[in-house]
Amino acid sequence: MRREHPGGVEAVLHFAGDGAVLAALLTPGGRIASTLGLTPEQLGRDDVTLAPIMASPATATLAKLADAAATGIIRVSIMRTYGLEDVPQGLADFAAGTRGKLAVRIHND
């Protein structure tokens, strides 16, 4: 990320990974929104704004999102797909900080 934005970024969305590492990418005065319960103490800096987002997924909301994805209204870019036998590697890639969405193919239809 620093290679693409050497001066840092103004905003970060924290859905996975280490929030403090992501916060380190912010410029002074930047903003970070976290769905993972990140606290100001975990940020390691006081010159950015933290917006905690507490989500409670409801069946109706998830069904609407699934329908939008199935019809192509919204798209999720999948960076890599793993076969079921490759799940351990997929988990290792996720833990190593692979950017983008990872998917597992359950069967070969």
Tokens of 48: 């950015």
Q: Note the pLDDT tens digit of each residue in 6-33.
A: 888 999 988 888 899 999 999 999 999 9
Whether pLDDT at 1 is above 70: no
Per the CB < 8 A criterion, the answer to whether 22 and 3 are in contact is no
In whole angstroms, what is the distance from residue 25 CA to residue 12 CA? Answer: 8
Q: Note the pLDDT tens digit of each residue in 31-82.
A: 999 888 889 999 889 999 999 887 677 888 778 878 888 888 887 778 899 9
